[in-house]
Amino acid sequence: MDDAATQSLDAFLQRVPYVRFLGMRVELAGDEMTAVLPFSQHLIGNPVLPAIHGGVIGAFMELTALAQLALAEPGGRVPKTIDVTIEYLRSAGARDTYARAILRKVGRRVANVQVEAWQESRTKLVAGLTGHFLLRSSGEPVAP
């Protein structure tokens, strides 16, 4: 992974306050990025199980997709979410959660991304996300 891409990813993570609230971080190994959501008590949505709040899992996966796009397109602006579909497959227990994004298609204006999230085993997903993101170059104005 080159330094420009890593710096771009770090800059993206620092620009998003919710990343800091979640405690989210990313780990790079070669050309693969794994997002990590360390467990914290403030992420619990159902204290009876206990289980991480579904909105936290959804946001974590969306941020994973955006981070993967930032890594693939260093120096660009943060993409704008067009839509996401989330499949909640099982409760996310009180432990660390991991996610990886796959860029299915990155066009000139729109990117199609899939994300898988798991906890103890990558074969037992807790959730999946399919999303479309509007790509903007750094010279393009932001529409209201």
Count the neighbouring beta carbons within 10 Å of the beta carbon of residue 31.
9
Question: CA-CA distance, 48 to 97, in Å (whole number)?
Answer: 19
Q: Please, are residues 108 and 135 in contact by the beta-carbon 8 Å criterion?
A: yes
Domain architecture of the chain: domains with CATH: 3-134 (3.10.129.10)
Tens-digit pLDDT profile for residues 39-96: 999 999 999 999 999 999 999 999 999 999 988 877 667 789 999 999 999 999 999 9
Q: Region 16-31: what's the mean pLDDT?
A: 91
Tens-digit pLDDT profile for residues 89-140: 999 999 999 999 999 999 999 999 999 999 999 999 999 999 999 997 655 5
